[in-house]
Amino acid sequence: MQSSGNHPNRLSWRGAMALAGAATIPGTGAAQAQAAQERVTPAGQNSIDLVNKRAQTNGINLHYVAAGHGPVVLCMHGWPQNHREFLPVIERLAGTYRFIAPDLRGYADSDKPYDGYQPKNIAQDMLGLLQAENVERFHILSHDLGGPPSVALAYLASNRAMSLATIETPFFGLSSPGYVDPRVTYWHLGMHANMDITRFLVEGREDHYLRHFFRDFAYNPDAIPEEDVQFYVMQMRQPGNLRASLNHYGYIPQMAEQTKELTRSKLTVPMLAWGGRRSFGNHCIDSARAIANTAEGGVIDECGHWVFEERPDFIVAQLSQFWPRHN
């Protein structure tokens, strides 16, 4: 299945804090959350209300945002982004779905531990977050390196996860016919896994590197607005962020091993997998079909890696068709 037409649809996001005070929200177990409201206005669009929260889960503190009403969608972002990458989807679908979008361990305003970046452990982070939000059933939406731990979560919580949508996800550790390990194809995977060298080259030059990174992996080089580039540069310069977030690459060998172990049996949770024509292409849907009993999706024409920014209307239309069939 392929898309047609060109939909650059670049959004510029502006956040204005609406001080709502801090409120303690009781969660189950040891999980607690603190909330503050933020109004985010996409250019030319209606504003949406995000609630900023923090929760203790699996030994760390996670920052996340929540918005909307309806069936829950848990969002798991990739590198070098954070919850912000899902705003184009949240803005369009918050009237129908309740979104919970954390900054994963190692990123942005969440804790930055030195270990624990295996997919199964990040899945445990998510299960604790869902417990803090009193969520039983949920959809999963992931992008990039948020994909492997989202697959682990779908396996570990297969009786609770209603669906799994993996967008532009690299799959490691598979052995299906025609499978090619992404480390063979993509230069940055090996470089980023060598965390000391990457830090040596990037620290102090975060703006130059991220601007190149966003443009190089896009079909439309201007897909990520300069305002967002500056936001992610600010994030990358936070103490510990570059070091911690690179662990998501440094743990690729463990990622491959755990994925290999999990996928010995077929995933029963229905999957949606899309890749950009200029990026992962068929890799995403072919991998999904190899591991899941039910998989749909394909390749998005005139699109690179940043699907939510490059083709927001297309991916929202696909999710809007996919989720209702699995509520």
Per residue in 243-272, pLDDT tens? 999 999 999 999 999 999 999 999 999 999
Pick 31 or 316 by higher pLDDT.
Answer: 316
Q: Is residue 70 part of a domain?
A: yes
* 220-236: pLDDT as tens digits: 999 999 999 999 999 99
Give domain status of residue 218, yes or no. yes
pLDDT(199) > 70: yes
Q: pLDDT band at 49, cuts 50/70/90?
A: confident
7 occurs within a structural domain: no
Domain assignment of residue 161, given as a range: 13-326
pLDDT of residue 37: 62
Q: Say yes or no to pLDDT of 50 above 50.
A: yes
Inform me whether the pLDDT recorded for 298 exceeds 80.
yes
CB contact set of 67 (below 8 Å; sequence gap of 6+): 48, 49, 50, 51, 90, 94, 98, 99
In this prediction, residue 210 has a pLDDT band, given cuts at 50, 70 and 90, of very high
If one compares 274 and 17, the residue with the highest pLDDT of the two is 274
Task: Name the domain count of the chain.
Answer: 1
**Residue 3 belongs to some domain of the structure:** no
Residue 200 lies in a domain: yes
Q: What is the CATH number of the domain that holds 39?
A: 3.40.50.1820
- Phi and psi angles of residue 162, each rounded to the nearest 5 degrees, phi first: -80, -30
8 falls within a domain: no
Nearest residue to 141 via CA among 291, 326, 283, 301: 326
Average pLDDT of the chain to the nearest whole number: 89
Amino acid 255: pLDDT: 98
